[in-house]
Amino acid sequence: MRKLFIVLFFTLLSGLVNAQKLERIEPMFWWAGMSNPKLQLLVHGANIASTDVQLSYPGVKLIKVNKVESPNYLFLDLEIAADAKAGKFPIEFVQGGKRKLQYTYELKNRESSPTRIQGVTNKDLIYLLMPDRFANGDPKNDVVKGMRETKLNRDSMYYRHGGDIQGLINKLDYLKDLGVTSIWITPEIENDMPLVSYHGYAATDHYKIDPRYGTLALYKTYVDKAHEKGLKIVKDIVHNHMGTGHWFYTDLPMKDWVNQWPAYTQTSYRDEPVMDPHTSEADKKKMLDGWFVPSMPDFNHRNPFVQNYITQNHIWWVEYAGIDGLRLDTYPYNDPDYMKDWAQKIKAEFPTLSIFGETLVHTAAAQAYFTGGNTVSRGFDTELPGITDAVIKNAIYEALNGKSGWTDGIFRLYATVAQDFLYQDANRNVIFMDNHDMSRFYSMVNEDIDKYKSGMALLLTMRGIPQLYYGTEILMKNYSNPDGLVRSDFSGGWPADKSDKFTAAGRTPKENEAFNFVKTLANYRKNNPALQTGKLMQFVPENDMYTYFRYQPEGTVDSDRGKTVMVIVNADDTAKNLETSRFAERMVNVSSATNVISGEKLNTIKTIAVPAKTTLVLELN
């Protein structure tokens, strides 16, 4: 009897171990009429690989069932005919001729509204914010039971503070009034990590909004409401890595889903081995395959299942929400061949979508290496339209803070702009003064309000797509060591805040001075094609002053509407007079000018007085 009991026990246990359970299918739904007829579904569930898969739906064919190292995964290759109709159909998981599990899959119709996926271009001003630090619109989701981080502590820069998507929705009118036309938030997908989960760059679920920010439906509402107000949306995406708390890191589909090393190996953070024609392959591998930090496993982009998963996820988000642009985190750390393939597939589905990659390298040549059109140096086209232009940022800082020399001070900025020949189109680059990883601009100019205004004037009149970091318009300050200090809360975003910086009454006189300066110039830019799509002509700096013009050439669509704008930079500590005769080719028949910020009219422009540490923005009449 005892022997029989033992046999029955282990028979039952074996049955439990082999039992199937369907945890998820991703993407959880798709669309009819996509450009690429191929779709690969990731199926995850206990021992799901022991089943056979069946489906029957007109226009949808199951091409192959891929079994991988883990018995808890299947990858289903589907082909969706061009004439397949939207609808629902069952995917059945069968064992021994009997259906064990079933998932109802849905093909949806694509939305065809002309206001969807508008693209973010040099006509726009991007506002970058961290949702956890901007505004708290729903205190009920501040702490979510069951998540690894359960502390809410606004006194610490490293815990969550409670900002969310609803808070951002509540402040859309503030952004529109400021002159912003596009919003980029740091990743909003789930980051269920035990520490520092607020920044968003260690994803633990690629198809889920972090519940402390809201829901999938609320994110879609945010995009729709922003579009209603004329605001575009940029989504921040991460190809390179995930968080160690990710559900598929705890149960890897296959060992090489991530880059494996005999011992933990961190990336060198050196971009040079990727482009160096003399590079060591070992150095290149360390840069590309090394992990960013121990808590962020590095995806193996040479794995075709990884490629399909990431690419389809990004397509899913754009189609689902109607996103206008994508910012690609840590671009140089990704496998180049995969990123080219990714770009081709994204563009095929969304020709009007805008894309720019974070490069954070140190020379214009290095930046240009990663952009589309530069086939000579690389052997193939990356098809990346634009990058985050850190080289221009550094040159502006040098112009504002440095001392003049042959290649220093204001000459650095002039020389940097002169290297725009390296890019297919420098107007697709995103220019900025700071972001969530850098010391804030106001601190970097030693809290000098004149230098601050001069830098903001350069940002909003230079070629490219300007990006403003949240709080820069109200003089938020601090340095990036440690990082959290540049990620302070926007005062007024929480009901208990002592001051509301979203309103003029809550700001100090100096903060209002800065806010009004940015607002005036941003809204002027929004209504002047010359500062958006206009050409740039610059002149060699003389007497430590740098002058450039933004203008619409005659015969172009906006040539009648676009006013010629003259920008004069005096980075010196003393006021100076600028003789304008050398600018005759851009000042033909110009008799006067208007100061865009003050509204003051200059009735004579043969000589223009430029105050110390000032960038004048003049509309020529």
pLDDT at residue 560 in the model:
66
* Tens digits of residue pLDDT in 42-54: 999 999 999 999 9
CA 178, 515, 392, 540 dihedral sign is positive
* Tens digits of residue pLDDT in 343-352: 999 999 999 9
CATH code of domain 126-527: 3.20.20.80
pLDDT at residue 67 in the model:
98
Among the listed residues 494, 572, 498, 559, the one whose alpha carbon sits nearest the alpha carbon of residue 530: 559
Mean pLDDT on 62-84:
98
CA 243 from centre of chain: 18
pLDDT at residue 261 in the model:
98
Catalytic status, residue 358: yes
> How would DSSP label each residue in 137-181?
S-GGGSS-TTSS---B-TTSSSSB----HHHHHHTHHHHHHHT--
Tokens of 6: 């033992």
Residue 210, helix vs strand vs coil: coil
Strands 232-237 and 182-185 turn out to be: parallel
The catalytic residue among 132, 188, 289, 329 is 329
Q: Where are the beta strands (DSSP E) in 142-223?
A: 182-185, 189-190, 205-209
Answer yes or no: same fold for 2-108 and 537-620: yes
Tell me which amino acid residue 37 is. Answer: P
Prediction pTM value: 0.95
Rounded distance between C-alpha atoms, residue 104 and residue 183, angstroms: 35
**Can you name the CATH fold of 537-620?**
Immunoglobulin-like (2.60.40)
Among the listed residues 393, 403, 284, 280, the one whose alpha carbon sits nearest the alpha carbon of residue 333: 284
pLDDT of 270 higher than 50: yes
Q: Beta-carbon neighbour count of residue 293 at 10 Å? A: 13
pLDDT of 14 higher than 50: no
* Tens digits of residue pLDDT in 194-242: 999 999 999 999 999 999 999 999 999 999 999 999 999 999 999 999 9
Q: Bridge partners of 467?
A: 126, 432
pLDDT at residue 4 in the model:
38
Residue with the larger pLDDT of the pair 4 and 535: 535
Rounded distance between C-alpha atoms, residue 600 and residue 609, angstroms: 13
Mean pLDDT on 265-283:
96
Strands 601-602 and 565-570 turn out to be: unpaired
Rounded distance between C-alpha atoms, residue 380 and residue 344, angstroms: 12
Q: Give me the residue label for tokens 């980075």.
A: 571
The CATH classification of domain 2-108, taken from the options 1.10.390.10, 2.60.40.10, 1.10.260.40, 1.10.357.10: 2.60.40.10
Q: Give me the residue label for tokens 């093909």.
A: 107
Rounded distance between C-alpha atoms, residue 43 and residue 21, angstroms: 11
Per the prediction, the chain carries an average pLDDT of: 94
* Tens digits of residue pLDDT in 120-163: 999 999 999 999 999 999 999 999 999 999 889 999 999 999 99
Residue 614 phi/psi, 5-degree rounding, is: -135, 140
- Buried-exposed string 273-284: b where 16+ CB fall within 10 A, e elsewhere: bbbeeeeeeeeb
Rounded distance between C-alpha atoms, residue 436 and residue 516, angstroms: 23
Q: How confident is the model at residue 375 (pLDDT cuts 50, 70, 90)?
A: confident
By mean pLDDT, which of 328-337, 398-407, 460-469 is the weakest? 398-407
By mean pLDDT, which of 10-24, 70-84, 377-391 is the weakest? 10-24
pLDDT of 6 higher than 70: no
Count of CA atoms in the C-beta half-sphere (13 A) of 409? 17
pLDDT at residue 420 in the model:
97
pLDDT at residue 559 in the model:
66
* Domain definitions of the chain by residue range: 2-108, 126-527, 537-620
363-368 long-range Cβ contacts below 8 angstroms, 24+ apart: 363/391, 364/391, 364/416, 364/419, 364/420, 364/422, 365/419, 365/422, 366/271, 366/272, 366/275, 367/391, 367/422, 367/423, 367/429, 368/422, 368/423
pLDDT of 486 higher than 70: yes
pLDDT at residue 115 in the model:
74
pLDDT of 91 higher than 80: yes
Q: Bridge partners of 313?
A: none
Alpha helices in 132-191 (DSSP H): 165-170, 172-178
Catalytic status, residue 383: no
Greatest extent of the chain over all pairs of C-alpha atoms, in Å: 111
The catalytic residue among 190, 236, 335, 358 is 358
Rounded distance between C-alpha atoms, residue 481 and residue 270, angstroms: 20
pLDDT of 384 higher than 90: yes
> How would DSSP label each residue in 271-313?
-HHHH-TT--HHHHHHHHHSBSSTTSPBB-TTSHHHHHHHHHH
Q: How confident is the model at residue 484 (pLDDT cuts 50, 70, 90)?
A: confident
Q: Bridge partners of 64?
A: 77
Tokens of 81: 């005919």
